[in-house]
A and B are shown apart, each in its own frame.
Chain A
Amino acid sequence: MPGRLKAKIVAGRHLPVMDRASDLTDAFVEVKFGNTTFKTDVYPKSLNPQWNSEWFKFEVDDEDLQDEPLQITVLDHDTYSANDAIGKVYIDIDPLLCSEAATVISGWLPIYDTIHGIRGEINVLVKVDLFNDLNRFRQSSCGVKFFCTTSIPRCYRAIMVHGFVEELVVNEDPEYQWIDRIRTPRASNEARQRLIFLMSGELQRKIGLKVLEMGGNAVVGYLQCFDLEGESGLVVRAIGTACTLEKISTFPATATHPNNSSPSKDMKEPGFGEEAPGVPLSSGPPTPLRAQTFSSFSPSKSYSRQSSSSDTELSLTPKTGMGSGGSAGKEAGPLKALLKQQTQSALEQREYPFFTLTIFPPGFLLHVGGVVSARSVKLLDRIHNPDEPETRDAWWEEIRQEIKSHAKALGCHAVVGYSESTSICEEVCILSASGTAAILSSRFMQDGPLDTEHRLSQQPLCVFSAGSERVEGDMGSSASLGFEEVVSPGCGFCHIPYDELNIPFPAQLTYCYCCRRYKVPDVLFTTIDLPTEANVTGKGCLIQARLCRTKKKAQGEGNAMAISNLLPFLEYELHTQLMNKLKLRGMNALFGLRIQISVGETMLLGLASATGVYLTALPSPGGIQIAGKTPSDITYEQHISNMQKKINDTITKNKEQYEINPPEVVEEIIGSPIPEPRQRSRLFRSHSESSDEVSEIDLSHGKKDAFVLEIDDTDAVEDIHALLTDSPTPAGFYSCNTEIMPGIQNWTSAIQMFTSVRVFRLNANLTNQGLNKIFSDLCENLLKSLYFKLRSMVPCCLCHLNFTVAIPEDELIQVAVTAVAMSFDKEQTLENGKRSGEKTLIKAITENDEQLQFNLELNAESSSPNPLGSPKAPSVDYSSFADRCSSWIEQLKLKAHTIRRGSVKTTSSMEKASPLPEGRSRSLRSNRSYSGSSVAVVKMTPLSFIPGAKIIKYLGIINMFFIRETSSLREEGGVSGFLHTFIAEVFAMVRAHVAALGGNAVVSYSMKECVFMENPNKNQAQCLINVSGDAVIFVRESELELTSVQPQSATTQTSNGGEGT
Chain B
Amino acid sequence: MSMELDVFVGNTTVLDQDVYQLWLDGHTVSDAVRIRMEAGALQECEANAEVLHSDTTDQFRTFQMCERLLQSPSKVANQLLFQIPPHRQTMLIERYYEFDSVFAREVLGKKLSKGTKKDLDDISSKTGIALKSCRRQFDNFKRVFKVVEELKGPLVENIQRHFLLSDVLARDYAAIVFFANSRFEAGKRKLQYLSFQDFAFCAGQLISYWTVGAVDNMMEDLDVDLEKDFLHDLKDLKVLVNDKDMLDQHKSLVCAQLRGKIKVFSEMEANFKNLSRALVNIASKLTHTKDFRDLFIDLVEKLIEPCRSDKWTIGDLRLFLKHYSSSVHMLEAFRHQVIWDRYMSVIKSCILKMYHD
Question: Could you list some 27 contacts between A and B, CB below 8 A?
Answer: A14-B79, A727-B46, A754-B10, A754-B11, A755-B9, A757-B5, A758-B5, A760-B1, A760-B3, A761-B1, A875-B16, A875-B18, A877-B15, A879-B12, A884-B87, A905-B164, A907-B164, A910-B160, A910-B161, A916-B153, A917-B218, A934-B78, A976-B6, A976-B7, A984-B81, A987-B9, A987-B11
CB proximity to B under 8 Å, residues A743-788: 752-763, 774, 781, 784-788
Query: Are A14 and B75 touching (Cβ within 8 A)?
Result: yes
B17, B52, B86, B218: the one contacting A905 at CB < 8 Å is B86
1/0 per residue B4-37: CB within 8 Å of A?
A: 1111111111111110000000000000000000
* A983-B16 CB under 8 A given contacts A881-B87, A921-B152: no
Complex: A985 Cα to B9 Cα, angstroms: 10
| Chain B residue at minimum C-beta to C-beta distance from A727 | B46
A774, A905, A987, A988: the one contacting B1 at CB < 8 Å is A774
1/0 per residue A880-897: CB within 8 Å of B?
A: 111110000000000000
Residues on B close to A: CB < 8 A? 1-18, 44-48, 50-52, 54-55, 57-58, 61-62, 64-65, 72, 74-75, 77-83, 85-88, 90, 147, 150-154, 157, 160-162, 164, 218, 220
Query: Are B61 and A876 touching (Cβ within 8 A)?
Result: no
| A749 CB to nearest chain B CB (Å) | 12
Complex interface: chain A residues within 8 A of B81 (CB):
118, 984-985, 988
Complex interface: chain B residues within 8 A of A907 (CB):
74, 77, 161, 164
Query: Are B51 and A784 touching (Cβ within 8 A)?
Result: yes
| Chain B residue at minimum C-beta to C-beta distance from A761 | B4
Query: Are A992 and B8 touching (Cβ within 8 A)?
Result: no
Query: Are B8 and A785 touching (Cβ within 8 A)?
Result: yes
Which of A294-302, A635-643, A937-945 lies on the face that meets chain B?
A937-945
Complex interface: chain B residues within 8 A of A917 (CB):
218
A774, A863, A916, A924: the one contacting B87 at CB < 8 Å is A863
* A876-B65 CB under 8 A given contacts A904-B87, A934-B86: no
A108 sits at the interface (CB 8 A): yes
Query: Are A905 and B80 touching (Cβ within 8 A)?
Result: no
* A759-B5 CB under 8 A given contacts A876-B17, A914-B157: yes
| Chain B residue at minimum C-beta to C-beta distance from A995 | B80
Query: Are B78 and A981 touching (Cβ within 8 A)?
Result: no
B7, B80, B82: the one contacting A110 at CB < 8 Å is B80
Complex: A760 Cα to B153 Cα, angstroms: 56
Complex: A907 Cα to B165 Cα, angstroms: 11
Complex: A812 Cα to B5 Cα, angstroms: 10
Complex: A754 Cα to B9 Cα, angstroms: 5
Complex interface: chain B residues within 8 A of A980 (CB):
7, 9, 58, 61-62, 65
Query: Are B12 and A984 touching (Cβ within 8 A)?
Result: no
Complex: A910 Cα to B167 Cα, angstroms: 12
B12, B55, B74: the one contacting A929 at CB < 8 Å is B74
| B357 CB to nearest chain A CB (Å) | 37
Complex: A973 Cα to B64 Cα, angstroms: 10
Complex: A754 Cα to B11 Cα, angstroms: 6
Interface centre among A760, A920, A938, A987 (most CB of B within 10 A): A987
A591 sits at the interface (CB 8 A): no
Interface centre among A787, A904, A924, A973 (most CB of B within 10 A): A924
Query: Are A759 and B164 touching (Cβ within 8 A)?
Result: no
| Chain B residue at minimum C-beta to C-beta distance from A794 | B45
Complex interface: chain B residues within 8 A of A762 (CB):
1
| Chain A residue at minimum C-beta to C-beta distance from B157 | A914
A51 sits at the interface (CB 8 A): no
| A866 CB to nearest chain B CB (Å) | 12
Complex: A791 Cα to B36 Cα, angstroms: 15
* A914-B153 CB under 8 A given contacts A758-B6, A784-B46, A930-B74: yes
| B138 CB to nearest chain A CB (Å) | 21
| Chain A residue at minimum C-beta to C-beta distance from B9 | A983
| Chain B residue at minimum C-beta to C-beta distance from A774 | B1
* A984-B9 CB under 8 A given contacts A788-B51, A935-B79: yes
Complex interface: chain A residues within 8 A of B78 (CB):
13, 108, 930-931, 933-935
Complex interface: chain B residues within 8 A of A927 (CB):
147, 162
Complex interface: chain A residues within 8 A of B11 (CB):
752-754, 938-940, 987, 991
A-B interface contact total, Cβ < 8 Å: 209
* A789-B80 CB under 8 A given contacts A983-B9, A1012-B5: no
Complex: A734 Cα to B14 Cα, angstroms: 20
Taking residues whose C-beta sits less than 8 angstroms from the other chain, chain A's interface range is 35 or more
Complex interface: chain A residues within 8 A of B83 (CB):
880, 935, 937-938, 987-988, 991
Complex: A787 Cα to B61 Cα, angstroms: 19
* A784-B1 CB under 8 A given contacts A860-B87, A904-B86: no
Complex: A981 Cα to B69 Cα, angstroms: 14
Query: Are B151 and A924 touching (Cβ within 8 A)?
Result: yes
Complex interface: chain B residues within 8 A of A911 (CB):
161
Complex: A1 Cα to B217 Cα, angstroms: 63
Complex interface: chain A residues within 8 A of B54 (CB):
781, 785
| Chain A residue at minimum C-beta to C-beta distance from B42 | A788
Complex: A221 Cα to B3 Cα, angstroms: 35
A5 sits at the interface (CB 8 A): no
| A525 CB to nearest chain B CB (Å) | 30
A979 sits at the interface (CB 8 A): yes
Interface centre among B54, B57, B75 (most CB of A within 10 A): B54
| A777 CB to nearest chain B CB (Å) | 10
Known: A784-B48, A881-B87, A938-B11. 12 other contacts (CB 8 A): A757-B6, A758-B3, A784-B46, A787-B46, A788-B47, A789-B8, A876-B17, A880-B85, A904-B86, A973-B61, A987-B83, A989-B80
* A884-B5 CB under 8 A given contacts A787-B45, A927-B147: no
Complex: A576 Cα to B354 Cα, angstroms: 79
| Chain B residue at minimum C-beta to C-beta distance from A992 | B80
| Chain B residue at minimum C-beta to C-beta distance from A778 | B3
CB proximity to B under 8 Å, residues A964-1016: 973, 975-977, 979-981, 983-985, 987-989, 991-992, 1012
| A916 CB to nearest chain B CB (Å) | 6
A928 sits at the interface (CB 8 A): yes
| A214 CB to nearest chain B CB (Å) | 36
| A971 CB to nearest chain B CB (Å) | 12
Complex: A989 Cα to B80 Cα, angstroms: 8
Complex: A876 Cα to B82 Cα, angstroms: 16
Query: Are A929 and B82 touching (Cβ within 8 A)?
Result: no
Interface centre among B12, B77, B87, B154 (most CB of A within 10 A): B12
A121 sits at the interface (CB 8 A): yes
Query: Are B75 and A930 touching (Cβ within 8 A)?
Result: yes
Complex: A1025 Cα to B10 Cα, angstroms: 16
A459 sits at the interface (CB 8 A): no
A673 sits at the interface (CB 8 A): no
Complex: A743 Cα to B208 Cα, angstroms: 63
Complex: A407 Cα to B62 Cα, angstroms: 49
* A934-B80 CB under 8 A given contacts A787-B45, A878-B10, A917-B218: no
* A789-B86 CB under 8 A given contacts A759-B5, A878-B14, A979-B7: no
| B66 CB to nearest chain A CB (Å) | 10
Complex interface: chain B residues within 8 A of A287 (CB):
none
Complex: A931 Cα to B65 Cα, angstroms: 23
1/0 per residue A900-932: CB within 8 Å of B?
A: 000011110011011011001101100111110
Query: Are A977 and B61 touching (Cβ within 8 A)?
Result: yes
| A345 CB to nearest chain B CB (Å) | 47
Query: Are B9 and A756 touching (Cβ within 8 A)?
Result: yes
Query: Are B74 and A928 touching (Cβ within 8 A)?
Result: yes
Complex interface: chain A residues within 8 A of B13 (CB):
984
| Chain A residue at minimum C-beta to C-beta distance from B87 | A881
A781, A929, A939, A975: the one contacting B5 at CB < 8 Å is A975
Query: Are A878 and B80 touching (Cβ within 8 A)?
Result: no
| Chain B residue at minimum C-beta to C-beta distance from A750 | B12
* A984-B15 CB under 8 A given contacts A910-B160, A920-B152: no
Complex interface: chain A residues within 8 A of B87 (CB):
860, 863, 881, 884, 904
Complex interface: chain A residues within 8 A of B80 (CB):
108, 110, 118, 121, 935, 988-989, 991-992
